[in-house]
Amino acid sequence: MLRAGASSTGASAAQLSTQRTSGVRVSDLEREHRRMTRQPPLPADLGTRFSVADALRAGVSPSRLRKADLTRPFHGIRTLSGAAFDVVSDRHGRELGPAERDHLRRAHEYATVMSDGQFFSHVTAAVIWGLPLPRGIAGRKGIDVAVFPPSRLPRGQGVRGHETTPRLTTVRRDPHSGLLVASPASTWAMLGAILRDPYDLIAAGDAAVRDWRVAEPLTTLAALAAAVGSGRRVGVGSLRAALPLVRTRSASRPETRARLTLIDAGGEEPELNFDVFEAGRKIACVDLAYPRLKIAVEYEGEHHLLDPEQWARDIRRYERLAAAGWRVIRVTKIELFENPSVFVARVRNAIAERS
């Protein structure tokens, strides 16, 4: 005998209620949901990001462009939701940080609607060229787009428009990304109005002229000097002060900061990325060095600790340096950026012991 609320199949009334809604079976609802959410395919040649104008010319209907599988990063642009952004490293093969990668993604999205005469500038140009920036600067939500007069100033949500002149700014197409952008020298000159910490401005200059372990530098010291001297601009005083301290062998923003911290503390300027030889054989390359005293300074980035193979190589390298009589001072991000006086004291003590 069946209890109230039970069926001959053993299903309860609650279970039955999940199978029917207003007399419609779940399977019917699921089919209807799939029908409503199924989107007509887009033309393959549009790619994962495209302008509305291009889509309409390709025969895509306006209603299709309003579907939920498309996002609207900027006015007149659509991107496929969830589409991967395949640029994960810079031109030197180093992994991009989250802020830089997101900024670069937005630049590529906006490039689909850039009009003639527009090019990327300022912070966006620095990200494209791979010039190091503080996280708070690289993480700005807007992108920088510039024009020469009489072109119309770029406007719109998420876009910072700038007007400059051919005298102050040269423009190039970046061979790595394909984007039209202010040249590396012009980009560095633009950063004079943005980077308030002189160490950061010098680090960006170091990256622009770096010729150590790269196929070719982005630009030259002469080009930086020409950009600074091209005319009046905001931040020119900071640029003039920074230029004499820019070096071609610095490989990172922390290396630049370590060098400048020691100099500003009254110390001798260290050699950068110095090759150490013992008995005619290269045993290591150290970030900063005082060769006469056999003192090396090594910046320990987070990747050194998180990559087991890198950590193992570091240990072997430090052992070789110790065996050759070198004193290695290892500095971390917290010490260098938050407690530089501790770092300076450690280097001073090592120099005093060996002088």
Model pLDDT for residues 253-279, shown as the tens digit of each residue:
999 999 999 999 999 999 999 999 999
> What is the tens place of the pLDDT at every residue in 89-144?
888 888 889 999 999 999 999 999 999 999 999 999 999 999 999 989 999 889 99
Element (H, E) at 77: strand 77-80
Residue that wins the pLDDT comparison between 39 and 149? 149
> What is the tens place of the pLDDT at every residue in 329-347?
999 999 999 999 999 999 9
From CA 318, how far away is CA 283, in angstroms rounded? 10
Query: How many structural domains comprise the chain?
Result: 3
Q: Which domain holds residue 188?
A: 98-245
Element (H, E) at 228: helix 221-228
* Residue 226 pLDDT greater than 60, yes or no: yes
> What is the tens place of the pLDDT at every residue in 307-319?
778 888 889 999 9
| Predicted confidence band of residue 17 (pLDDT cuts 50, 70, 90) | very low
Q: Are residues 193 and 167 in the same domain?
A: yes
From CA 272, how far away is CA 275, in angstroms rounded? 9
The secondary structure of residue 40, as a DSSP letter, is P
Q: Are residues 111 and 238 in the same domain?
A: yes
* Residue 21 pLDDT greater than 60, yes or no: no
From CA 187, how far away is CA 181, in angstroms rounded? 9
| Amino acid found at 123 | V
Q: Are residues 183 and 278 in the same domain?
A: no
* Residue 183 pLDDT greater than 90, yes or no: yes
CB atoms inside a 10 Å sphere around CB 32: 11
Residue that wins the pLDDT comparison between 159 and 90? 159
| Predicted confidence band of residue 7 (pLDDT cuts 50, 70, 90) | very low
Q: Are residues 292 and 322 in the same domain?
A: yes
Residue that wins the pLDDT comparison between 175 and 88? 175
Give the pLDDT of residue 38.
Answer: 67
Q: Are residues 234 and 345 in the same domain?
A: no
CATH number at residue 266: 3.40.960.10
Instruction: Single out the residue of 258, 263, 229 nearest to residue 243, CA to CA.
Output: 229
Average of per-residue pLDDT across 75-95:
87
* Residue 296 pLDDT greater than 50, yes or no: yes
Give the pLDDT of residue 27.
Answer: 55
Q: Are residues 218 and 257 in the same domain?
A: no
Q: Are residues 333 and 310 in the same domain?
A: yes
Lowest mean pLDDT among 7-16, 215-224, 291-300, 346-355: 7-16
The share of the chain scoring above pLDDT 70, in percent, equals 88
The pLDDT mean for the chain works out to: 89
From CA 300, how far away is CA 139, in angstroms rounded? 24
Give the pLDDT of residue 92.
Answer: 81
Peptide bond before residue 270 is cis, with ω within 30 degrees of 0: no
Give the pLDDT of residue 141.
Answer: 85
Q: Is residue 33 part of a domain?
A: no
Q: Residues with Cβ < 8 Å from 300, sequence gap 6 or more? A: 330, 331, 332, 333
- End of a domain among 199, 228, 245? 245
Q: Are residues 108 and 213 in the same domain?
A: yes
Q: Are residues 51 and 174 in the same domain?
A: no
The answer to whether the beta carbons of residues 49 and 83 sit under 8 Å apart is yes
Instruction: Single out the residue of 151, 146, 139, 158 nearest to residue 186, CA to CA.
Output: 146
Q: Distance of CA 68 to CAs 48, 266, 342, 354, Å?
A: 14, 60, 54, 68
Give the pLDDT of residue 86.
Answer: 82
Pairing of strands 295-300, 327-332: parallel
| The two three-digit tokens of residue 18, written as one number | 């999940």
Q: Are residues 280 and 234 in the same domain?
A: no
Q: Is residue 38 part of a domain?
A: no
From CA 161, how far away is CA 147, in angstroms rounded? 8
- End of a domain among 222, 245, 268? 245
Give the pLDDT of residue 22.
Answer: 38
Q: Is residue 26 part of a domain?
A: no
